[in-house]
A and B are shown apart, each in its own frame.
Chain A
């Protein structure tokens, strides 16, 4: 028994601190893929039969193709809001040339993390489709999260509402920068280290700022839902509601950044002052907001 306790602890330590066990996890996850798929069949069957009653096979396929297309189009519309605002501020000349239309693929959510305290989903695309760790995940209405674990056929994505997730954002109205950290509650993000004097108002749209290089720039993240000032606190208390349907979307978009996947060293060298966040997932913050 003692042997197993020690063995487990060593495993936990090695897996948490280093990436040595990634290949092991990768190969074991191949074995577990069927289980993921089987556990999702009730949902699939329900969906399939609901479609079947309405229409014939061909209509079904057409429908899927159309809804994928809608997703793609809606994503372009999303980008418009921020691009227009940017034009208005006449910043076009300086920065916006790097907004190139990114390549995306559509994936389906095939599972969610059974632990209600962790916000993770499993999508049906993996290394075979070219996915990589740190890739941004979107739905029709905004940023959902990022890929944290890539298997051969499925991958795991961390949602922005998870309490270990953070991402750099800026307000679309005036460019005030902040870091949006998940709260562990699906419809709430917290903005940390916002100065009391920052010009943020309820209703402001927050878009990803692209600082740190992990998330593409200019996708909607959330809408500010609460701003309060507590004289006893060094920073303002700002909360936002994610625009993405974190608990409802079935199809998601995976964005391939123009540049290659962010290098490990870049992610790790960023030292954002986010006490209380685990060291492992700090790389997910990739702030540069410091």
Chain B
């Protein structure tokens, strides 16, 4: 498998994350929607930090801004910050058991949500409740289930 095929696989995972991010869900589930794009970024930064880092996270974030109609730079800022923190900790998180990784994801997505909220509150008044933090929880819960297919994908395409 070539390197470019690997890159394609990585791009594919982000496409999938985008689709899941804007997919129409029933009302209640909407509050529980995991932050797919952030999860995928965290995974790739932990797995292959030399290829997916702050720069990729930033570009991915710009596209997410366009997709969800946010101020340009909002998700870019949040995702690159998360990528940076993940990069600093990736050696440690890598050897954690999965449940402990989930806890790290809880905190990382929390940071992500916090930055998004900060930007949102600066540029617009937003209706905001404690429910806002639920995605951090649901992201941590789905983490073990997204690690498995991504790990398989990585083996399949020998991405490293």
Contacts and interface: CB of A to CB of B under 8 A. Distances in A.
A15 B73 contact: yes
B73 A163 contact: no
Given A8-B76, A12-B77, A114-B22, A31 B124 contact: no
Given A15-B71, A25-B72, A32-B66, A118 B24 contact: no
A115 interface: yes
B53 to A, nearest CB: 10
A90 interface: no
A202 interface: no
How many interface residues does chain B have, given as a range?
35 or more
Interface residues of A, number: 47
Nearest to A156: B69
B67 A42 contact: no
Contacts of B27: 116
Nearest to B70: A115
26 contacts: A4-B55, A7-B58, A8-B73, A8-B76, A10-B73, A11-B73, A12-B119, A15-B73, A16-B123, A21-B72, A25-B66, A28-B66, A32-B18, A32-B67, A35-B22, A36-B22, A39-B20, A39-B24, A42-B24, A112-B24, A114-B23, A117-B132, A156-B69, A163-B125, A184-B127, A280-B124
Interface of B: 15, 18-25, 27, 30-31, 33, 54-55, 58, 61-63, 66-69, 71-74, 76-77, 80-81, 84, 119, 122-128, 131-132
Interface of A: 1, 4-5, 7-12, 14-16, 21, 24-25, 28-29, 31-32, 35-36, 38-40, 42-43, 111-118, 120, 149, 156, 163-164, 183-185, 276-278, 280-281
